[in-house]
Structure 1
Amino acid sequence: FDQFLFLVDWFLTFTLSVPHQYVFVNESMTWAEAQRYCREKYTDLATIENEQQTVQLIDTENHDSIDLAWIGLYDDLNSWKWTLEDSDFFKVGEKDFRNWYDPGPDNYGGQSLCVYMDNGIWYTTYCFNYRPFICYDGKQFN
């Protein structure tokens, strides 16, 4: 029985530590168009759960290209939300991870409702701006 528990514990630890796969799309679209594209071809716009995933995105071979790219965070006028709001997707505390520029989101005039990432830091802007974007493909890789 102890060996079984060890194997289950090892499997869960390994599974939870495997990073997610992201796909950079170097085509400029509005935030809504980018979300639709990601949902049709992958899973959704990128959801960044923690600092490790931010580093993973910055360290990709397309680092110079992913500057100013849409991610899946938006403001629904009540709070900041991820497009992928599946509670099973997040571990404790991950849904609340934020990496805002200092002093934080300004939501200028109540219209800067969408988020892009520049060198790992998050900024708000108008959703109708055109930017490249990062999709999450729903797969995990080793």
Structure 2
Amino acid sequence: MEVMKILTNTADLDNMFYSKNSYRAWIGLSGDSWRWSLSNTSFYKPGETEFRLWAPGQPNDGYSYKVCTWMGYDGLWYDDRCDISCYPVCADVRGSDVTFVFINNRVTWTEAQSYCRDHYTDLPSVRNMAENQKVQAVIPAGCYAWIGLFRDPMKWSDGSTSSFSFWKNGQPDNNENETCVAADFSQSGTWEDWPCDVERAFICYGPGEC
């Protein structure tokens, strides 16, 4: 909070001219993109990691705590809290062959990830509709199961982590294209998520600062 007070006191509102009567400037926070638990890039072919099969209205990212994904027995995907209990589906990757195994034990997403990594390869990375149908086929009717898609938390550009946040009410609203953060100095420097290609004033560290 001390840093936010310094920024607010030193912000030159007259020169934040990118948006009339709106005094916002970029800070170094960004992220919130969806990615797969299995990070082995040799597993993917170009473009395959972009496959998504969200249910209508999903992901409803306005709820910032919904950062994990489960698949329903209908084959559609839903974002949800990571600490609820779902059945895991594990992926067993052997070269170009992938098999999927339903685990009849309800656990959290993190517990599912650990179990799959210990006993198989990882939670499933669904690369195309054919694989989605294979995962769907192992989920019993009426059940839903964790898959490997999760949303990265926000990160600072210098790689540091901090539990401090200063979001404006209703923020972040986490629209999928809003992955950068600006501070609104007309409202005490409170934070908002914005598309990264919007033009804003910006703040840099001065000489000798760290």
> Quick one: structure 1 residues 76 and 139, their matched pair in 2 at CA, closer, same or farther if it must change by over 3 Å?
farther
CA–CA distance in structure 1, aligned partners of residues 26 and 11 of structure 2: 18
Distance 2:168 2:182 in 1: 11
Higher relative contact order (CA 8 A, sep 6+): 1
Query: Which residue is equivalent to 1:95?
Result: 162
Q: Structure 1 pair 55/65, CA: closer, same or farther in 2 (3 Å)?
A: farther
**Residue 126 of structure 1, CA deviation:** 0.6
* Matched positions, count: 83
Letter in 2 for 1:68: R
Query: What's the Cα RMSD here?
Result: 2.2
Residue of structure 1 aligned with 2:178, choices 103, 112, 118: 112
Candidates 29, 49, 58, aligned match of 2:8: 58
SS at match of 1:98: coil
The answer to whether 1:131 aligns with 2:200 is yes
Judging by fraction of residues, say which structure has more helix. Answer: 1
Amino acid at match of 1:55: K
CA contact (8 A) 1:73 1:82 kept: yes
Larger CA deviation: 95-104 vs 62-71: 62-71
SS across alignment from 1:71 = strand
Q: Residue 116 of structure 1 contacts residue 122 of structure 1 at CA under 8 Å; is this kept in 2?
A: yes
Task: Using the TM superposition, give the Cα deviation of residue 83 of structure 1 relative to its aligned residue in structure 2, in angstroms.
Answer: 0.3
- The structural deviation recorded for 1:69 is 0.5
Verify: 1:81 aligned to 2:37, yes or no: no
Runs of 4+ in 1 over 6 A off after TM superposition: none
Q: Does the CA-based 8 Å contact 2:32-2:174 persist in structure 1?
A: no
AA partner of residue 95 (structure 1): S
> Which amino acid is the alignment partner of residue 5 of structure 2?
V
CA distance in 1, matches of 2:11, 2:28: 21
Segments of structure 2 that go 5 or more residues without pairing to the other structure are: 17-22, 34-151
TM-score (norm 1): 0.52
Q: Kindly state the Cα deviation for residue 63 of structure 1 after the two structures are TM-superposed.
A: 4.4
* Unpaired runs of at least 5, structure 1: 1-50, 87-93
